[in-house]
Structure 1
Amino acid sequence: MAGSVTRSQSKRKKAKLSNDKDIVVDRISNLPDSLLCYILSFLPTKEAVGTSILSNRWKPLWTLVPKLDLDEVNIKYKPLTHIVYRILALHIAPFLKKFSLRIKCGAREYFHVETCIYTAMMRNLQQLQLEIVLNNYTEEPFRFPHRFFSCKTLVVLELRERIEIDLPSSFEFPSLKILSLIRVCYSDDDCFSRLISSCPVLEDLSFEKAGIPISKFKICVPTLKRLRMKFRKVDYELVIDAPALDYFEFQGDLRNFNFLKEVTKLVEAHVDIKAVDSYDNRRIGNERGYEIGYGDRVFRLVKELHNAKFLSLSPGDKECLDFRSIYPSIFKNLVRLNFGLERCNWHVLQALLQVAPNLEVLVVKKSYNGENKLGWMEPLHGPTPSYTPGYLLSHLTTFNFHQFEGSDREVEFVKYILKEARVLKTLTIKVTGKLLKESVLQKLSMFPRHSATCLFTVESIYC
C-alpha cells in the first residue's frame, strides 16, 4: 500500500515537472527595444540581421541598431549592390554611431563604395571605418572624396590599405578625436600635416607608413594625448609638437626624429626599433653591424621619453656606441621597464638602470640565442651620475628574465641584480633549452643577495 502511494506521488511530481517544462517564458524578448538594440550592437551586422528570423518581435530590431559593421572582403561586386545597398535602405535608425565597411573591389566599384559611405554620413555619422582591398594591386587606390571632409559629426575616422588622401583647399573636422591612417597614400608631402592640423580636438592618432617614402611628417597638435606610429622600409623626417602627450608608441625603422617640446605629461611609452640598412648607405661593415648615427638616433628618441612611468624598449640589434651620453637625462618617474635584449644592446640596459633611481619592476626579454661579446660588464663604462651608488636599484621589487640560457654574461647580470636590489621581493627566471630548473634554482640560491625576503621562481619555456 505504501509503495503504491509513493509511486502515485512520484507520477504526480513528474507530471508537474513536465507541465513546468512546457511553460517557457521568453524574458529576453520582453526587454525594451533600446536594451535589445544595445545587445545587438555588439554583433556584426550579418549576425544581427540573422536574429530577425527568431520571431516577429525580433524582425525589425536590427534596423534600429545605430551601428553597421559590414565585412564584404570575400564577396564579389554584385552582392555589394544587392546586400550593402539593401541593408542601408532597410536601416531606419535616426542616426548612425558607427559605419564599418571592409570590402574587396576594383576601380569600377569605387562609385558604389562612395555612395554607401555618403549614405551613412547623411545620418550624422560619428565613427567611420573603411578598408579597401583591391582585386588587382596595380589599380589606382580609392580616393577619399572631398565632400566627406565636411562631416561635422565625425568623431572617429579609421582608413586602411588602398585609400588615397587628397585634401580639398579648405576643410575641418571639428569633432574628430580619433584618427587612424594605416598604409594609406597621400597626394603630396604636406597632405598628412594639413590633415591633422585641421582636427582641432584630436586626441588619438595612429598611422603606419610602408614602402613609398614621404620626405617629412609634422605632427603639431596641442590636444594630442595618444600617438602610435609604425614605419617599415621607408625614409622619413618626423617632427612632433604634442605637449599634452601621455601615451607614445613607435615601431619600425628609426630615422630623423625630433620632439620640438618636452612631453612632460608622458605616462607610458613603447619603442620597438627594427634596424635596417640606412638609405644613405653610410655604414661601416664590421662584425657588430654598427651603423653611423644609429646610436645617436636611438639616444635622442629615448631621451625625450624620460618623464615616462612605464617604458617598454627594444632598441634593435645594432650597436649603439654613443648611447653612454644618456647620463644627463634622469628617468626619475620610471617605475617599470620592459627591455628587449639583443646581442649588441646590453650597455643600453646598463645605462638605463643607472638613471632610473625609482625603478620598481624590471622585465628583460632576450631575443637571441647563445653567448655574445658585448654582455653585462661591471663596472659600467663611461661617466656615471653622482647619485648612482646610493640609489641604484634601491626600489626594485620585481625582476623577470625571459629566455635565460645560463651564459656567463647572463649569470653576472642576475648576480648584479641580487647584490644591488635591497628590497627585491620576487625574481623570476624563465629558462630555455636543456637547462634544468632545479640546477638554475640551486645556483641562484648560492649567490649573495641584498634582500633576505626575495622569492625565487624558475620556469621552463619552449621556443
Structure 2
Amino acid sequence: MGIKSISKRQKLYPKTDSMIDRFSDLSNSLLCHILSFLTTKEAVATSILSRRWKTLWTLVPKLDLDIDNMHLSLDKIGKCNEPINISYTDVVSRVLALHIAPFIRSFRLRCNSDCPPFHFDTWIRTAIARNVEELKLLIFYSYGIHMGLPCSIFYCQTLVALELSGGIDLDPPSSFQLPNLKILRLLEIYYCKDSSCFSRLLSGCPVLEDLSFERDGYDCLYHFEISVPTLKCLRIAFRPYRLDLNDYTIEIKAPALEYFKFEGDLGHIVLLEKLDNLFEADVHICSFDGSDSLEEHQKRCYGDRVFKLLRALTTAKFLLLFPGVTECFGFGSIYPSKFLNLVHLDFKLNPSNWHVLQALLLVAPNLEVLVVDKCYYKSKDKLCWMEPPDDPGYLSSNLTSFNFRGFKGLKLEVEFVKYILKEARTLKTMTINVSSGELKESVVEKLSKLPRLSRTCLVTVE
C-alpha cells in the first residue's frame, strides 16, 4: 500500500507542472492583458517570477502610478530593513524610461501638487508621445500650490478620455482641439481666470459625449456654460460650503442628452433646449447648511429652482428623484407639464416631500414601476400623505410594480400603501421592505386587511 501511495503522489507532480507550463505558454500579448488589470507596482512585482517575466511589465500598455503605492514599495527595499532614499519623481521617471510599449492605452498619475513642474510636464509629454488614449491626473492639493497643465495635452490627437482631479489649474489655450475626446471628467479642479476657461475647454472637444463636472465651492465662480451638441451623458455635482455660493448659474445647451445627473446644492440650472432624447435623469438635491434660518420667500425661491429643473426633465423615461427637504416647502402647483414618457420612478422620501410625490404621480399617466425609498430622518412628520380626490385617472393604469423601502408601519405609510392597492388595477407585485425584522409580523397583519383592486397582485414583506 505504501508503494502505491508513493506512486500516486508521483503521478500528481507532472499534472501540476503541466498546469504551470500551460500558463507560461500564453503569448506575451495575453499576459500583458492580464497584467493591465493590476497597478504598475503590482505588475513590476511579477518580474521576480522568472527571466521571461522580468521585463514583461514594460510591454503593458497601461501605467498606473500612485505616490502612496510607490512609497510603500520603496520602504521595503534595502539591506537591514533600511529604506533607500529614492524620491517618487525618480521612481516615476525610471518606470517611464524602462517602459517600451509602442503605445500607452491608459496613463494614471496620482501625486502631490508640489511635484516639480519639469518632471510633471515630462511625464505627460512622454505619455502623449506614446499616443495615450486615456489620461487620468489626480493631484493632491498641498501648501497652496496648484499644478498647471502642459499645453501638449490640449493638442493630443489620440486622447479619448481625460480626467483631471484636485489641485490642477485649468487654463486652456485660446485655440485648440481634442478631435477624439469623448469622455471628460473635471473633479474639483481650479480655474485660473474665470469660468470662461471651462467653456473654452468644452469648445475644443467637437465629439464629446460624456461630461462629469464636480465643484467644491472654493473657486468662487458663479456662472458656467455647457454648450456641446454631441453630449449624451452629463453629471453635475456642486457642493458649496457657503450659503451665497448657491446663487450660481449653469446654462446647458445639449440637445442630444440621454442621461442627466445632478447632486448637491441646487442653484439656477437652465436647460436652453428641449431634451427629446433624454432617457434617464437622476436628481439628488441636498439641503445646504444654514437653510433653517431662511425666510419663507427664500425657501419658495429654492423650491422654484427645483420646479424649473424638473420641468426640463419631463421627457425622461427613468427618473430617480430626491427633491431635498427645505426646498420642498416652496412647492405649490409644481408640475405644469406631464411626464408622459415616465415608466420608472425611484423616489427618495422624507417627511417634507410627501406632497411632491403625490403631485408627481398625478402627471405620470404611463408609470409602470414605482420605488419609494424612505430616507432616515429624526424630525417629526411636517407634511403627510393625503389621499387625492376620487379620480379614476389619478394613478397610472399601467402600474405593475411597487416597492416601499424602509417601511415602519406608520399611519401615513399605511395610508399610502392602502391607496396604491385600492387604485392600481394592473398591479402585479408589491414589495414592502421593513426597517427591522421585528416589524415584519405586524406589517404583514396590517397589509393583509387592506382591500386591493388587482386580483393578481402578490404582496411580499421582506
What is the TM-score when the length of structure 2 is the normalising length? 0.89
1:216-365 pair list within 5 angstroms: 216-233=223-240, 234-235=245-246, 236-276=248-288, 283-284=294-295, 291-321=299-329, 323-365=331-373
**Structure 2 unaligned blocks of 5 or more:** 72-84
Equivalent position to 1:440, from 439, 443, 446: 443
SS of 1:295's equivalent in the other structure is: helix
Whether the 8 Å CA contact 1:370–1:405 is kept in 2: the answer is: no
- Match for residue 419 of structure 1? 422
Residue type at the aligned position of 1:418: L
User: Which of 109, 120, 124 is residue 113 of structure 1 equivalent to?
Assistant: 120
Aligned mate of 1:157, from 144, 150, 162 = 162
2: CA distance, partners of 1:294 / 1:243: 26
More helix by share: 2
Does 1:198 find its partner at 2:204?
Answer: yes
Cα pair distance change 1:376/1:146, threshold 3 Å: same
Identity %: 55
Shift in Å, 1:393: 2.6
**Cα gap change, 1:190/1:282 in structure 2, threshold over 3 Å: closer, same or farther?**
farther
Q: Distance in 2 between matches of 1:93 and 1:335?
A: 49
2:181 aligned residue: 176
Instruction: Pick the aligned partner of 2:396 from 385, 388, 393.
Output: 393
Task: Say if 1:9 and 1:140 are closer, same or farther in 2 by CA, change over 3 A.
Answer: closer
SS in 2 for 1:24: helix
Decide whether aligned partners of structure 1 residues 22 and 268 sit closer, same or farther in structure 2, where only a CA change above 3 A counts: closer
Question: Quick one: distance in 2 between partners of 1:419 and 1:393?
Answer: 12
Find the aligned partners of 1:174 and 1:109 in 2 and give their Cα distance.
30
Determine the structure 2 residue equivalent to 1:36. Answer: 31
Q: 174-183 or 430-439, which moves further after superposition?
A: 430-439
2:388 is the alignment partner of 1:379: yes
Cα drift, residue 439 of structure 1: 1.2
- How far is 1:431 from its partner? 2.1
Residue 99 of structure 2 corresponds to residue 91 of structure 1? yes
**Residue 38 of structure 1: how far off its partner (Å):** 1.2
> Do 1:161 and 1:182's aligned partners in 2 also have CA atoms closer than 8 Å?
yes
What secondary structure sits across from 1:218 in the alignment? Answer: strand
TM-superposed CA distance for 1:394, in Å, is 1.4
Mind listing any 5+ residue stretches in structure 1 that lack a counterpart? Answer: 1-6
C-alpha contact (below 8 Å) 1:331/1:355 kept by paired residues: yes
State the match for 1:4 in structure 2: none
Q: Which amino acid aligns with 2:294?
A: R
Q: Which moved more, 1:353-362 or 1:178-187?
A: 353-362
Cα RMSD (Å) of the superposition?
A: 2.5
Q: What are the Cα deviations for residues 371-427 of structure 1, in whole angstroms up to 9, with x where unaligned?
A: 5131111226xxx9xxx7336231112111122222221111111111111121221
Secondary structure of 1:85's aligned partner: helix
**Following the alignment from structure 2 to structure 1, what is the Cα–Cα distance between the partners of residues 408 and 270?**
38
Q: What residue identity is the alignment partner of 1:376?
A: W
SS in 2 for 1:27: helix
Q: Quickly say closer, same or farther: Cα 1:396–1:453, change in 2 above 3 A.
A: same
> How many Å apart are 1:110 and its aligned residue?
2.7
Measure how far apart 1:450 and its partner are.
Answer: 0.8
Aligned length: 440
Q: CA deviation at 1:189?
A: 2.3
State the partner residue of 1:3. none
Alpha-carbon distance in 1 for matches of 2:365, 2:262: 25
- Mapping of 1:33-112 within 5 angstroms? 33-73=28-68, 78-106=86-114, 109-112=116-119
Give, in whole Å, the separation in 1 of the partners of 2:113 and 2:93: 15
Tell me if structure 2 keeps the 8 A contact 1:371–1:407.
Answer: no
Cα distance in 2, alignment partners of residues 278 and 167 from structure 1: 36
1:210 aligns with one of 197, 210, 216: 216
* CA spacing shift, 1:296–1:92, aligned 2, 3 Å: same
Structure 1 equivalent of residue 74 of structure 2 = none
CA deviation map 1:295-319 (0-9, x unaligned): 1110111111111111100000015
Counterpart-to-counterpart distance in 1, 2:329 and 2:222:
27
Q: Secondary structure at the match of 2:236?
A: strand
For 2:39 and 2:211, locate their aligned partners in 1 and report how far apart those are by CA, in whole Å: 25
Partner of 2:82: none
